[in-house]
Amino acid sequence: MVAPPQARRRRLWLSVTVAVTVLAAGGFIAFRLARSVPAPKIVQTAPQTYAIPGVPPVLPWPQAGQAAVEVDGLGRLGTSGDARPVPIASVAKVMTAYLVLRDHPLRVDEDGPTLTVSAEEAAAYPSQLASDQSLVRVIAGEVLTERQALQALLLPSANNIAHILARWDAGSSDAFVTKMNQAAAQLGMTDTRYTDPSGLAPSTVSTAADQVTLARVAMRLPVLAQIVAMPQATLPVVGQVRNVNTMLGKDGVVGIKTGSTDEAGGCLLFAAEISAEGQRFWLIGAVFAPGPSMADAFAASSRLIQAGSGLLHKYRVVRAGEVVATARGPMGRKTTLAATGDVDVLGWPGLTYRIDTLATVPGHVGAGTGVGTLKLTASAAAVTTSLQTTAALAPLSWWERFARG
């Protein structure tokens, strides 16, 4: 018996509805199962920072003037004085040398391009000498290599060579001074203003803190560090010149620049090598006008270096096996991350290290699997140890993949 058309239509629609429903349900299930499982979220359980315990050191700061000291790569030990910009005399030549080497890089075994003393620059020498400036004798047509010019600038502290280098680099002293101030701004030396490339002008001013910032960057230029550590050098016309920094070789001093005028008093920007736990560091400092003479600056700097050289000690922050983070996956799954080794830092009471967990944990991982690094950072110094899981993370079952929200 043939069903009436109306019944056939009802059966057809029912069949279509069932098919569509099955397909939709299948698609929904497939969609739920195909969704990517988010990676476990890392939550650091260790503190975000570690401050070395104890009373911060107090250095034997000079009673007059201003000073600043830091351990390169670790941080600043402190400052003294009112930190207002003051004349810095020939310490300004550090920026001059830094810019020349930035614009005309040299290798440590290279003399570099040459520059020729002009007739005008040579003719200015007698009047400059009469004004009791720090100079080296030059003659018209004298040819200096870049290295020799930098030696003349930094060892006997020749004001005339500062202007000759400025003209060679930028076309004129005024143009070079513009570059000096631009570089100071780029380095964050907000209390510094240069008005001449030699520092003779009392209007060239800075702070001890700003000049320590410059010294840190300048000493990373191998040629500059090499030259300021030289006790003497030989130049074409004047012959042998000596480094006026008489602290070289004392208290580990390896540079970098003296300065002295009536307005500035005695000034010293220094770098001294210190060691701790088999590692070597630069203790970088500036002492401005602790007294009227260079002897005052040398004495104040010596006291600071001797006190600062014994401040670095080792401190244990994390022990091997210590849990420092948790990895939280979907459906309540989790494991913890533990340091695989001890973490020791160098420093002094009050120095703060930042602690970062740098890890990526897959959704399915076994116990004892390496997943990243724990990193402790202070300034440019970093100490790390590997991290591993303390327990396994099993993959989600098909039902969990379907049922999760």
Give residue-wise pLDDT tens across range 315-357.
Answer: 999 999 999 999 987 656 789 999 999 999 999 999 999 999 9
- Assigned token pair, 309: 């050289």
Weakest mean pLDDT among 7-11, 26-30, 135-139, 157-161: 26-30
Pairwise CA distance, residues 49 & 229, whole Å:
37
Neighbours of 113 (CB within 10 A): 11
Residues 72-123: pLDDT tens digits? 999 999 999 999 999 999 999 999 999 999 999 999 999 999 999 999 999 9
Is 157 one of the annotated active-site residues of the chain? Answer: yes
**Mean of pLDDT over the chain:** 91
Is 127 one of the annotated active-site residues of the chain? Answer: no
Q: Where are the domains of the chain?
A: 39-52+315-403, 66-310
Statement: residue 235 has pLDDT above 90: yes
Tell me which of 93, 134, 198, 260 is the catalytic residue: 93
Residues 112-156: pLDDT tens digits? 999 999 999 999 999 999 999 999 999 999 999 999 999 999 999
Average pLDDT (32-40) is 58
Is 206 one of the annotated active-site residues of the chain? Answer: no
- Assigned token pair, 153: 């600038």
Statement: residue 265 has pLDDT above 90: yes
Can you give the pTM of this predicted structure? 0.85
- Top-tier CATH class for 66-310: alpha beta
Neighbours of 146 (CB within 10 A): 22
CA angle 11, 14, 15 (to 5 degrees): 85
Tell me which of 80, 134, 157, 260 is the catalytic residue: 157
Counting Cα atoms < 13 Å in the Cβ hemisphere of 339 gives: 23
End-to-end alpha carbon distance in the chain: 52
Tell me which of 36, 41, 80, 90 is the catalytic residue: 90
